[in-house]
Structure 1
Amino acid sequence: MSPDFLPTLRQRFGQQCSTAAALCEQHGSDEGSITAPPPMAVVFAESTQDVQDAVRLCAQHGVPIIAYGAGTSLEGHLLAVHGGISLDVSRMNQVLQVHAEDMTVTVQPGIRRKALNEAIKDLGLFFPIDPGADATIGGMTATRASGTNAVRYGTMRENVLALQAVTASGDLIRTGNRAKKSAAGYDLTRLLVGSEGTLGIFTEITLRLHPLPEAVRAATCTFASIADAVHTVIETIQMGVPIARVELLDAATVGMVNRYSQLSLREAPMLLMEFHGSPAGVQEQVEQVQAIAAEHRAQDFEWAETPEERTRLFTARHNAYFAGVQSRPGSRCITTDACVPISRLADALLESVQDAQDSAIPFFLVGHVGDGNFHFGYLIDPDDATERDRAEQLNHRLVSRAIAMDGTCTGEHGIGIHKQDFLREECGDGAIAMMRAIKAALDPLGILNPGKVFAA
C-alpha cells in the first residue's frame, strides 16, 4: 500500500471516512467467535458513485475492501484478515421502486429487513425472508440467508430477481430483471447471491414480494422427545402441508429462552409453528399437523392468538442466541449450522445432540427444521483453550456428519473463514478450483473481501 492511500481516501470522502479506533473495532467484528485486527479505516458510502470511487481507489493502491451492513454475520465474513478498509453501506437504505402489481421491489443494500416490511405493509405485501437478526438486505443477499419462513417462501436465492453491483475494477453492472424467469446468458444473479462480498459489492437489489396472508395462526407444541418432534416435522413436510414456519428448540434451550424473554413455555422439546393462508386453508393445515403430532405423543397445542403474541413468541425464538450466551455469563458462543435432506434430519440431530451431551460443553439447539436446517451453539469459556478445542471438535463432527448424509456444511450462515475446510470436504478439489478461477477472473487483484470462502 502506498503512503498516499489514506490521504487520498480522506480527500475524496471527507467526513464519510474515519480512522477512529472504536469505529474500526466495531467494523472489524461480527456476532461470531473469531477475532482479527480491525480495518485501517471505515468509509460510509451514501451512493453508488461512492461505492465505485472507493473500489477504484482500493484497486489503484492494492488495498482490500470489505462491504459492511449490520455486522450480524457469524462466520467471520467481516474480518479484515488481510487489512484494508471497511465500506459501510448502511446509509444506502432507501426503497427505490415498488411495483406492487408485479410484487417486486428494488432497494439499496443498507436497508434492513424490518424497515423494508414496514415500508410496504400498507400495500398488502411483505418480504418473507427472516434470518432472525434485523440484517441488511445487502448482507442477506451476500450470505444467501434464509431463516424461519424458508420452508414455505424459500431463501434469498429464490427471492432475489436482479442486482446492480460494483465490480473489482469499479465498473457498474446489472444482472437479471424483474421478469420471473430468463434464459439469457449466464445466471450472474445466482453467482453473486451468496458470494459473501468476494465478487462484487451490491448497490441495488430487486426482490420478489409476497401477499400478506389473509389468516395467520401460531402455536407451540411440546413432545416427550426430540425424536418425536422431528418425526412430526418430517411427516408434515412429506405430506405436503404448506406450513409457513416450524422451529425446533430442545428442552434446555426453551429454559434459556424463558429466562431471557420472561416467558413460561413448557420446558420440553418444542415446535413453534405458524400457518399462513385463507381461514379455511389455515384450518385445514392445523388439523393435518395436529393429527400427525398426536401420533407422536404431542402435548396440547398452545396458541398465540394475537399478532402481538405471535411477535413475542418468534422474537423470543430469534433471541435464542443471546439467551444461550446469557445462560453462561462471560461465555462466547461457537455457532454452527448444517442442513440435511429431510429424511435424514432425525439421524443428524439425535447423533449431534448425543455428541454434545457427552462432551459436557453447554449448548443450545434451534432449527428451521422444516427444510432440514439446524443450529447448535456451543458455550465456551473464551480463556479456556481446551473448551474451545472440544467445541470445535463437536462442530467438525456435526458438519462432517451432515455432509456424509448428502447435506451441506452450512444451510444459511455461509463459509466466511470458519467453514473453509468443510467447503472442500463438501465440494471437492475440482469445484474449489473452479470457484478460485471465477474469483481470479472477476477480482484479479484479490481486493474484494480477501481470505473469505477459501483462503486467498
Structure 2
Amino acid sequence: MTIQTALAELSSLLGQRLTRSKSDLDLHGRSETHFPLTPPDAVAYPETTDEVSQIVKICAAHACPVIGWGTGTSLEGQAQAFQGGLCVDFRLMNKILRINPEDMDVAIQPGLTREELNTELRATGLFFPVDPGANASLGGMASTRASGTTAVRYGTMRDSVLGLEVVLADGRIIRTGTRARKSSAGYDLTGLFVGAEGTLGLITELTLRLQGQPEAITAAVCAFERIEDAVNCVIDTIQMGLPMARIEFVDADAAAAFNAYSGSDMREIPHLMVEFHGSEQGVAEQAESFGAIVADHGGQGFEWATTPEDRTALWTMRHHAHWAIMASKPGCRSIVTDICVPISRLAEAVNATRADIAASPITGPILGHVGDGNFHAILLFDDTDPAQVKAAEDLSHRMVERALAMGGTATGEHGIGVGKLKYMEAEHGQAWGVMGSIKQALDPQNIMNPGKMVQNS
C-alpha cells in the first residue's frame, strides 16, 4: 500500500492537479509503437520546480516509482509506467524563462515544445535547430538525447544543452553547467543527465544553445534507381565536407506511402531530400556542388523547393513519415528501428537491411537521417499473427547486431527505454555496469523510471 499512501499525500499537495481518471491514466500509458498499454497509478501536473521536489520527496518516502512525461512521443517505452507509480506530466511547466539574444541562448521549462520555442524566437533572428519530426517537449528531447533531420549540421541535444536544473531522487534540486560556452570545472553532469531518460532525476529547467536563422535556405528532392546509388551519393557528399543542413533518405516503399498519405507524386524509387542553409551565394554554390555529385551517381528528377511554402510541404511530408507508413497497413503495429553506423558502412547496412526485409513476410519501409549514418526501418506487423510478430522482432534484432558489428550503435536517437535494453551489454561491455553504479549512487531506492536504461533496475 506504499504507493497508495504516497498518492494520498500527493492529493493533499496538488489537489485537482493529481488525477486518477481512466482517460488520463490510459493517455499516459500508451506507446507510439508496439508496447502494450501500461497506465500509471496516477498522474501529477506540477507548476514549479519546488512542487516537483516535494512530489519526489513524498514518492521517495514511500518507494513510489516516478516517471517523467513530456508529450509521450518516445518510441522505446521510456515514458510508460511498467512498474506502476506516478507519472509526472510537465505540460503546465511550459514557459520561456529568459531569452539572451546576445549570447544566443535561452532558458526554458521542460514542458515547452520545440515548435512553441521556435515560434517565440522568430523576432530574434535565432532558432533552435534540433528537429526530431514530432513536436516533442524539450525536456523529453533532452532526456532521450534526441536528434533529427538537422543533426548533420547542427548536432543533437547533446550539443545543444548548456545547463540543466534537475530534481534528484531524494528531492534535492541541483543545477548543472553554466551559460559559458565551455568549462573545465568538474564532472560533466549536464552530459550525464542528457540521455538518462529520467532514470537519475527529473529535468525542471534547460538552458539551450540557439543558432542564427540562415540568410538563405533552399531544399530539393531527387530520385535514384538503386538504393546504393542514393546512399553512396550521401557518403561522397559528407566526405567532401559539403555543409548540408539536412540530407534524408527514403526508399521506394516510403515514397509510395508518402504518395498515398500526402498526395505527392514521387516516383516509387529511392529518393534523397536535402536542404542547404547559408548566404545566397553560399547556398547556390552548395547546391551546384551537390548537383554534380548527384549526377555522378545517376540521380534524376531534381526538384527544387525554394519558396517557404514548398519547403514546408516537403519537410512536413518527411515529418509525417511514421503516420504515412502506418496508414499504408491499417491495423498494423510497428517496431521502429534507428540504428546508426559509421558513414563508410552506411550503404552496406542499408542494403543488407533491405534484403532482410524483402526476404521476410512483413513490410518495412526504410528512411532516415543518413547524413550522420542513422536510418530507420518501420517494421509493420499484425500483432495477432505470431509469425509476423516474430519476423519483426527478428528483423530488428539482426539490424542491431549488424550495426554493432560495424562499430555502430543500437540506437542513434530514439534511446534505450525497455525496447533496446537487451543490447546495452553488447554495446557497452563493463561500462554498462558503471552506468548501473551511477544509478545506484543517485537513486538507491530505484524509484526514478525503474526498468529502463540499466541492468536490474
TM-score norm. by structure 2 comes to 0.98
**Distance (Å, rounded) in 2 between the aligned partners of 1:261 and 1:54:** 44
Residue 453 (1) aligns with residue 447 (2): no
Residue 90 (1) aligns with residue 91 (2): yes
Amino acid aligned to 1:239: M
Structure 1 gap ranges (5+): none
Q: Secondary structure at the match of 2:327?
A: helix
Q: Secondary structure at the match of 2:162?
A: strand
**Number of residue pairs the alignment of both structures matches:** 455
Structure 2 gap ranges (5+): none
Q: Superposition pairs for residues 259-298 of structure 1, below 5 Å?
A: 259-298=260-299
CA deviation map 1:253-275 (0-9, x unaligned)? 11101111111122210000000
Amino acid aligned to 1:353: R
Q: State the partner residue of 2:49.
A: 48
Amino acid aligned to 1:153: Y
CA deviation map 1:218-272 (0-9, x unaligned)? 0000011110000000000000000000000001111101111111122210000
Quote the sequence identity (%).
51
Quote the offset at 1:121 in angstroms: 1.0
CA deviation map 1:70-117 (0-9, x unaligned)? 000000101111110100001100110111001000100000000000
Residue 415 (1) aligns with residue 416 (2): yes
**Distance (Å, rounded) in 2 between the aligned partners of 1:10 and 1:317:** 43
CA deviation map 1:156-185 (0-9, x unaligned)? 000100000100000100000011100000
Residue 431 (1) aligns with residue 439 (2): no
**Distance (Å, rounded) in 1 between the aligned partners of 2:180 and 2:394:** 46
**Distance (Å, rounded) in 2 between the aligned partners of 1:258 and 1:439:** 46
Quote the offset at 1:200 in angstroms: 0.9
Residue 393 (1) aligns with residue 394 (2): yes
**Distance (Å, rounded) in 1 between the aligned partners of 2:182 and 2:52:** 29
**Distance (Å, rounded) in 2 between the aligned partners of 1:80 and 1:284:** 51
Of stretches 102-111 and 306-315 in structure 1, the one that deviates more from structure 2 is: 306-315
Q: State the partner residue of 1:129.
A: 130
Q: State the partner residue of 1:178.
A: 179
Q: Superposition pairs for residues 216-255 of structure 1, below 5 Å?
A: 216-255=217-256
Amino acid aligned to 2:113: R
**Distance (Å, rounded) in 1 between the aligned partners of 2:37 and 2:189:** 31
**Distance (Å, rounded) in 1 between the aligned partners of 2:308 and 2:420:** 38
CA deviation map 1:414-434 (0-9, x unaligned)? 000010111111111x11110
Whether the aligned pair in 2 keeps the contact of 1:24 and 1:41 (CA below 8 Å) is yes
Whether the aligned pair in 2 keeps the contact of 1:126 and 1:210 (CA below 8 Å) is yes
**Distance (Å, rounded) in 1 between the aligned partners of 2:226 and 2:313:** 25
**Distance (Å, rounded) in 2 between the aligned partners of 1:44 and 1:164:** 18
Amino acid aligned to 2:445: L
Whether the aligned pair in 1 keeps the contact of 2:144 and 2:413 (CA below 8 Å) is yes
CA deviation map 1:298-347 (0-9, x unaligned)? 10310112111111111111111111111011001111110001000000
**Distance (Å, rounded) in 1 between the aligned partners of 2:157 and 2:338:** 17
Q: Secondary structure at the match of 1:453?
A: coil
- How well do the aligned residues superpose, as a CA RMSD in angstroms? 0.8
Q: State the partner residue of 1:322.
A: 323
Q: Superposition pairs for residues 369-384 of structure 1, below 5 Å?
A: 369-384=370-385
TM-score norm. by structure 1 comes to 0.99
Q: Secondary structure at the match of 2:338?
A: strand
Amino acid aligned to 1:437: S
Q: Superposition pairs for residues 64-79 of structure 1, below 5 Å?
A: 64-79=65-80
Quote the offset at 1:394 in angstroms: 0.2
Amino acid aligned to 2:174: I
